[in-house]
C-alpha cells in the first residue's frame, strides 16, 4: 500500500516537508514568529500568567491606608442623669458644712450649685480616623484552590497556542503547495501555447498550399484565444494563492515567494494504528481537555472546602479624634484575629458541589468524544492520503497515454488522415491530463499536510511561547 505513495513521491516529488534547509521550513518558522492570530493566542497565554501571579499574590500580606473624616448631625443619643444623682449629694454636703461653719469647726462651704443632666450624642459632630491596616490570611482554602486552578488554566492556554501552531503549520504547507501548483500550471500552459502556435503555423502552410480551407486556420486561432482565457484564470489563481500565503506570514501580500527545486520527497507515513496512537499521545487538544479534567477536580475540592472556616489576622495602627491632629493622645493600635464560618446558607454549598460534579462528568464525556473524533480524523486523513497517492499514479499514466495519442494524431493530421477536430481533441486531452497530474500531485502533498497535522507528526518545539512579544 505504501509502495504507491513512495513511488509517487520518487517520481513526482520536489520537496521535503520537514527539511530544515528548505524554503518551506523557513516560511513555517516565519509564520510561527509573525502570524497575527498566533500572536493573539500568545497574548491570551501571557494574560493567564498574570492571572496566576494575581492569584498567588493573595497569599501575601495586604497593607492598606484608610482615612476618614466625618461630619454628623442628629442620630441616636445616650442620656446620663448625673445631675439627678449628684445634686442631692451636693445639697447634703452643703447642709453639713454650713452647720460646721456656724460652730467654727470648718471654713469650707460647698457653693450651692446644680449639675445638669448630660445628653451624649452617639455620632460625634466631627470625627476623623486615619490608619494603616495590615491583613494576612492564615487559613483560606479558597485562595489555595484558586491558585491551583489558575495554574492549570495557564497550562490550557499554552496547549491552545501549541494546537494553533500545529494548525498554522498545516495551513502554511497547504497554501505553499497551492502556490506552487499555480506556477506549474502556468508553466504547463506555456508549453501548450507552443503546440497551439505550431498548429496555427502548420494550418497556414496547408492553407497556402491549398491543402485545407480558411476555417481551419480560424479554428486554430480560436484555440489560442481560449488558451489566453485559461492563462488569465491561472494568473488570477497564482495571485490569490500568493496573497493568502503571505497573509499567513503577516507580510506584504504581493511579496515574492521562493519556490523549491525538485528533489526526492521525505514523508513520514505511519500505519493507521501507529498514527492513531501518535495522535492520542501528542494532540494538544486532548492534553488541554486532560488539564480541564484536573481543573474540574480542583473546582470540586474547592467547593467542598467551603464548609471550613477562614482565619485572618488584622492589625490597625492610626489616629482618631474630633480634630485632624496626629499626636500621642489620638494614636491607637488594634490587633484582631478574625474567624468566619458559614454554618448555613440555604444549601448553597451543596448545590455548588453538585454543579461541580456535573461539570466534571461533562469534561469526561468531552474527553471521550474528542478521542473518538481524533480517531476518525486519522482514519479520514489516512485514506485520503492513500486515495491521493493512487490518483497521482493514475494521472501520470493518463498523461503518458494522452501524450502518445496526441503524437499519433498529429502525424495523421499532417498526413491528411485525421481531421483538425481530432487533433484539437487529442491536444486538449493531453493538456487536461497534464493539468490533472499537477493538481493531483499537489493534492497529494496537501493531503499529507492534513495527515501530518491530525497524526501530530510535525515537531512543535516547546519554546517560550511569548518570546516574540518581548
Distance between CA atoms of residues 202 and 466, nearest Å: 65
pLDDT for res 153: 93
pLDDT for res 21: 62
Distance between CA atoms of residues 37 and 161, nearest Å: 10
Q: How confident is the model at residue 5 (pLDDT cuts 50, 70, 90)?
A: very low
Q: How confident is the model at residue 426 (pLDDT cuts 50, 70, 90)?
A: confident
pLDDT for res 463: 52
pLDDT of 431 over the 50 cut: yes
Distance between CA atoms of residues 182 and 178, nearest Å: 6
Q: How confident is the model at residue 223 (pLDDT cuts 50, 70, 90)?
A: confident
Domain boundary assignment for the chain: 2-61+140-309+345-469, 74-122
Give the CA radius of gyration of the chain: 45
218-222-224-228 Cα dihedral, nearest 10 degrees: 150
Q: Which residues pair with 318 in a beta bridge?
A: 131, 332
pLDDT, tens digit, 9 for 90 and up, residues 8-38: 443 344 444 555 567 888 999 999 999 999 9
pLDDT of 469 over the 60 cut: no
Q: Retrieve residue 309's grid coordinates.
A: 472556616
Among residues 303, 308, 295, the alpha carbon closest in space to that of 355 is found at 303
Q: Which residues pair with 119 in a beta bridge?
A: 79
Residue 62 falls in which region: left (phi positive, over 0), alpha (psi -120 to 50) or beta: beta
pLDDT of 466 over the 70 cut: no
Q: Is the C-alpha dihedral spanning 172, 264, 392, 390 positive or negative? A: negative
Q: Retrieve residue 160's grid coordinates.
A: 491552545
| Superfamily of chain region 2-61+140-309+345-469 | Outer membrane efflux proteins (OEP) (1.20.1600.10)
3-state secondary structure of 320: strand
More confident residue, 166 or 214: 166
Distance between CA atoms of residues 50 and 73, nearest Å: 47
Q: Which residues does 347 contact at the CB level (< 8 Å), separation at least 6?
A: none
pLDDT, tens digit, 9 for 90 and up, residues 346-372: 777 888 889 989 999 999 999 999 999
Proportion of the chain above pLDDT 70, given as a percent? 88
Distance between CA atoms of residues 423 and 193, nearest Å: 15
Amino acid at each position: 500500500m505504501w509502495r504507491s505513495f513512495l513511488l509517487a513521491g520518487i517520481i513526482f516529488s520536489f520537496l521535503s516537508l520537514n527539511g530544515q534547509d528548505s524554503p518551506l521550513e523557513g516560511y513555517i518558522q516565519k509564520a510561527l514568529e509573525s502570524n497575527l492570530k498566533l500572536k493573539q493566542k500568545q497574548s491570551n497565554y501571557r494574560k493567564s500568567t498574570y492571572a496566576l501571579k494575581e492569584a498567588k499574590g493573595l497569599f501575601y500580606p495586604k497593607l492598606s491606608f484608610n482615612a476618614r473624616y466625618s461630619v454628623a448631625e442628629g442620630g441616636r443619643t445616650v442620656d446620663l442623669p448625673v445631675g439627678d444623682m449628684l445634686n442631692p449629694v451636693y445639697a447634703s454636703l452643703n447642709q453639713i458644712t454650713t452647720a460646721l461653719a456656724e460652730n467654727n469647726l470648718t471654713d469650707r462651704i460647698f457653693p450651692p450649685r446644680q449639675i445638669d443632666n448630660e445628653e451624649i450624642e452617639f455620632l460625634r459632630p466631627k470625627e476623623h480616623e486615619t490608619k494603616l491596616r495590615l491583613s494576612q490570611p492564615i487559613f483560606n482554602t479558597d485562595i489555595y484552590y484558586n491558585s491551583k486552578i489558575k495554574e492549570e488554566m495557564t497550562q490550557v492556554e499554552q496547549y491552545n497556542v501549541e494546537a494553533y501552531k500545529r494548525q498554522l503549520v498545516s495551513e502554511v504547507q497547504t497554501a505553499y503547495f497551492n502556490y506552487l501548483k499555480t506556477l506549474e500550471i502556468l508553466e504547463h500552459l506555456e508549453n501548450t501555447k507552443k503546440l497551439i502556435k505550431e498548429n496555427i503555423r502548420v494550418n497556414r502552410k496547408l492553407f497556402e498550399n491549398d491543402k485545407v480551407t480558411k476555417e481551419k486556420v480560424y479554428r486554430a486561432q480560436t484555440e489560442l484565444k481560449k488558451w489566453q482565457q485559461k492563462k488569465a484564470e491561472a494568473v488570477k489563481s497564482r495571485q490569490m494563492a500568493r496573497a493568502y500565503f503571505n497573509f499567513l506570514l503577516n507580510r506584504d501580500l504581493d511579496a515574492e515567494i521562493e519556490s523549491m527545486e525538485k528533489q526526492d520527497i521525505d514523508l513520514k507515513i505511519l500505519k493507521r494504528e501507529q498514527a492513531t496512537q501518535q495522535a492520542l499521545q501528542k494532540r494538544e487538544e486532548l492534553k488541554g481537555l486532560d488539564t480541564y479534567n484536573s481543573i474540574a477536580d480542583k473546582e470540586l475540592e474547592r467547593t467542598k472546602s467551603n464548609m471550613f472556616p477562614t482565619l485572618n489576622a488584622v492589625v490597625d495602627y492610626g489616629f482618631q479624634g474630633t480634630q485632624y491632629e496626629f499626636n500621642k493622645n489620638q494614636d491607637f493600635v488594634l490587633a484582631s484575629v478574625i474567624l468566619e464560618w458559614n454554618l448555613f446558607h440555604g444549601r448553597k454549598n451543596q448545590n455548588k458541589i453538585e454543579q461541580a460534579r456535573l461539570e466534571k462528568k461533562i469534561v469526561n464525556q468531552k474527553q471521550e468524544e474528542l478521542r473518538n473524533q481524533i480517531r476518525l480524523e486519522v482514519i479520514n486523513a489516512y485514506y485520503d492520503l492513500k486515495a491521493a497517492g493512487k490518483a497521482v499514479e493514475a494521472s501520470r499514466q493518463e498523461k503518458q497515454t494522452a501524450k502518445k495519442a496526441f503524437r499519433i494524431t498529429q502525424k495523421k493530421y499532417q498526413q491528411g488522415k485525421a481531421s483538425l477536430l481530432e487533433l484539437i481533441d487529442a491536444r486538449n486531452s493531453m493538456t487536461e491530463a497534464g493539468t490533472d497530474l499537477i493538481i493531483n500531485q499537489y493534492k497529494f502533498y496537501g493531503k499529507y499536510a492534513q495527515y501530518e497535522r491530525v497524526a501530530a507528526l510535525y515537531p512543535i518545539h516547546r519554546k517560550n511561547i511569548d518570546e516574540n512579544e518581548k
